């Protein structure tokens, strides 16, 4: 297949919904590297991603998007190097029901801050039909503290329509440059 190929990465704490997003959106059977949890995560979930999740989405006859889900544990952050080249942008997922949601987001933002300053990204509040205004504002503040710029919106990672909206939002940011200037990534456009 010829045409344009783009890449989007999903990142966030373990259990935020990265694998679920890719399963909901991918038009091919997704590839998953989930293994049984053997550490403290086993209290939260049965399996965790240890390499990458992978899926594909056909945008039109000429272009498709490769979807990559990074492991949530910081010790696997080097996997970002595998997908870095050619990234369109990132979707940072947050489990809005977690008592430590803002701390988890802050850790993810701090871990990938240098890269997120160079690309558009969206913060997606998952697992909350209507994310509470307080958690949404706290997440916006976490983004500001890291001197980053990104919209924050509520999604259900199981709903294809919700995740497709995140992709569309990234494409709008890229096309129109809302809040993102690749020449001066730290500054608002």
Residue 121 has pLDDT above 80, yes or no: yes
Ordered by where they begin, the domains of the chain are 4-176 (3.40.50.300)
Q: Which of 3-12, 18-27, 42-51 is predicted with the least confidence, judged by mean pLDDT?
A: 42-51
Mean per-residue pLDDT for 49-76? 83
Distance CA(136)–CA(123), nearest Å, equals 9
Q: Band of the pLDDT at 4, cuts 50, 70, 90?
A: confident
Q: What are phi and psi of 19, to 5 degrees?
A: -60, -40
Residue 29 has pLDDT above 70, yes or no: yes
Put residue 99 in one of left, alpha, beta given phi > 0 → left and psi -120 to 50 → alpha.
alpha
Residue 39 has pLDDT above 60, yes or no: no
Predicted model pTM: 0.83
Residue 187 has pLDDT above 50, yes or no: no
Residue 179 three-state SS: coil
Residue 184 CB neighbours (<10 A): 9
pLDDT digits (tens, 9 = 90+) for 130-146: 657 889 999 999 999 99
Put residue 94 in one of left, alpha, beta given phi > 0 → left and psi -120 to 50 → alpha.
beta
């Amino acid at each position: 297949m010829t045409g344009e190929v783009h890449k989007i990465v999903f990142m966030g704490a373990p259990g935020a919904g990265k694998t679920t997003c890719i399963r909901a959106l991918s038009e091919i059977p997704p590839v998953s590297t989930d293994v049984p949890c053997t550490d403290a995560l086993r209290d939260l979930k049965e399996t965790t991603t240890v390499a990458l999740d992978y899926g594909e989405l056909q945008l039109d006859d000429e272009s498709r998007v490769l979807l990559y889900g990074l492991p949530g544990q910081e010790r696997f952050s080097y996997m970002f190097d595998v997908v870095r080249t050619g990234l369109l942008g990132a979707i940072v997922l947050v489990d809005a029901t977690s008592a430590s949601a803002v701390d988890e987001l802050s850790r993810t933002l701090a871990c990938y801050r240098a890269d997120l300053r160079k690309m558009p990204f969206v913060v997606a509040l998952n697992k909350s039909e209507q994310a509470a205004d307080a958690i949404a504002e706290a997440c916006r503040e976490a983004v500001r503290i890291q001197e980053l710029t990104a919209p924050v919106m509520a999604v259900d990672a199981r709903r294809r329509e919700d995740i497709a909206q995140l992709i569309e939002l990234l494409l709008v940011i890229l096309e129109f440059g809302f809040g993102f200037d690749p020449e001066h990534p730290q500054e608002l456009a």
